[in-house]
Chains A and B, each alone.
Chain A
Amino acid sequence: MPSAFVAEPGSITPDPRESSLVRLAIDLGAADAGGPLSAAEARLVTRANRLMASTPRTRLATARRALRAGLDPLGDEFCAIRTPSARRESGAIYTPPALVQPMVDWVMDESPARVIDPPAVDVSSSTLPAASPAPIWWRWTSTRWLP
């Protein structure tokens, strides 16, 4: 993110669509999932809580339903906002489910105690292991748009 950007009410990133996506992620519970937030993530959450209104209920419900159905609505929205060339600059090439599933199957057949998944942004229920006993799943994020 450009260091000259100043957050304003309604927008905490230079692109208001990305701000809206961040707000949605927070309202889905991002701040309370996946362990402690990094300093950059915590700053983003603070700004969002201070400057942005909550996500409209219908948008929130739709996103939650889609995630539970195995879709990736946040990833799809991110890809619509960031052009392929912008994503290529950070090396971000998103992996289609048809590639992910055989990889997850191969890994989970070995019954790992821990899965390390670097770097990851999206998550889809269809690719994840069954509930318990579930291995510890670490995911490294690539969050270049965080301040």
Chain B
Amino acid sequence: MTRAGFAALKLPNVEVLNTDFIRLRSPRINGVTAFIGNPPYLRHHALSPATKAWAQKAAEKLGLKVSGLAGLHAYFFLAAAGNGRAGDIGCYVTSGEWLDVNYGAIVRDLLLDGLGGESIHVLAPESLPFQKTATTAAITCFRVKKPPEAIRFQSITTVADLASLADSGEPVARYRLLETGRWSTFVRTRNAIPEGFIELGELCRVHRGSVTGSNRTWVTLPGANDLPESVLFPSITRARELFAAGAELASAEQLRLVIDLPADLDELDVGDRKQVEKFIASARRAGVRKGYIASHRPKGAWWAIGLRAPAPMLATYMARRPPAFVRNLVGARHINIAHGLYPREELPEDALTKLAACLRTSITLAQGRTYAGGLTKFEPREMERLPVPALDSLLRS
């Protein structure tokens, strides 16, 4: 089809190569070579061992490391760095996930080093940059062999706003980019924290809920087994429980129970211990001990989930709508389908209620990270960066 287009337009000086770009060595020429394109979006699962081995070698040659989880688009940046010569330029449009994830480190490292990042223009998912696909896209401009003093970041809300790439965006100094592995914050915090507001993280720590390793084993209904009450904890085990709760979780009646056994079974009295050991034996027979999470629990206590203390506020963290922020009035625990918000210092009840109300009404999906399909996620550190009223404002009656 490419050739047909060239033929119809009678374009001279074009060559189509039906081959593997990442392995191709382009011959030297006089003058600048420009790399431009939309590298295929293929996750690491789809890449062959030989392709991954190529990436390892290519990164090593540049004194860098590449994660085995990196997608094909990262390899295209590597190929440009390997193929390019000083003064060559490039402009790729890709999904924006490499800005933040661990396996995107190779792209970040390249842009701060030999690939010479110049600017990154991030299109919000609601701009639908790729035909009906709600995902963050990034157009990255680079200049080979020129480690930058700063890289410009631009946030784009609609595709129509995308004009010239040459001068747009705000520069972020190299030393700040080196300090962090999450570059999308430099896009989002172009909208600075307003006067009178602070980051949520200054008031609260945000912690992901506990991972059970096998919800089928460790999440149960009231009355479903003989375990003592002391090891059964009403918990948020589904995000919809928080969405349904509204402003506050006022009853634990509808909640399922998480079985949280002590690591040291000597803590239990004789009768309770007998029941617990029976349960542990049945879980062992079902192979629960061999699961990844269970087998990595400390001191061999594979049965001890270790639920966190109840959080005064709970939040959903992954949905197609902004997170729910819910006051936890019943001391429910939570597993990893929710985050718990724990004030750094004790806060009065009405301040917590005001804080939750503010978070419910002001937080938008744009402040999270959106994946293909439109699911938006707020990791704990990202949630801690959300703007909230300053403490004195919350304490005012």
Contacts and interface: CB of A to CB of B under 8 A. Distances in A.
Contacts of B76: 118
Contact of B36 (A63, A90, A117): A117
Given A112-B89, A138-B26, A141-B2, A40 B18 contact: yes
Interface residues of A, number: 73
B164 interface: yes
B82 to A, nearest CB: 13
Contacts of B173: none
Interface stretch (A2-10, A46-54, A129-137): A129-137
B118 to A, nearest CB: 9
B180 interface: no
Interface string B297-312: 0000000000000000
- Residue from A40, A68, A74, A112 having most chain B Cβ neighbours under 10 A: A112
Given A91-B41, A106-B164, A112-B34, A35 B130 contact: no
Contact of B26 (A25, A112, A116): A116
Contacts of A72: 5
A147 interface: no
Interface residues of B, number: 59
Contact of A136 (B7, B14, B130): B14
B267 interface: no
A124 B6 CA distance: 9
Interface of A: 21, 24-26, 28-35, 37-38, 40-41, 63-64, 67-68, 72, 74-75, 78, 84, 88-96, 98-99, 102-107, 109-125, 128, 131-132, 134-143, 146
Given A33-B4, A99-B129, 7 more contacts: A94-B131, A102-B163, A112-B32, A112-B34, A115-B36, A119-B40, A134-B12
Interface of B: 1-9, 11-19, 21, 24, 26, 29-42, 46, 72, 76, 79, 83, 89, 91, 93, 123, 129-133, 137, 139, 141, 159-160, 162-166
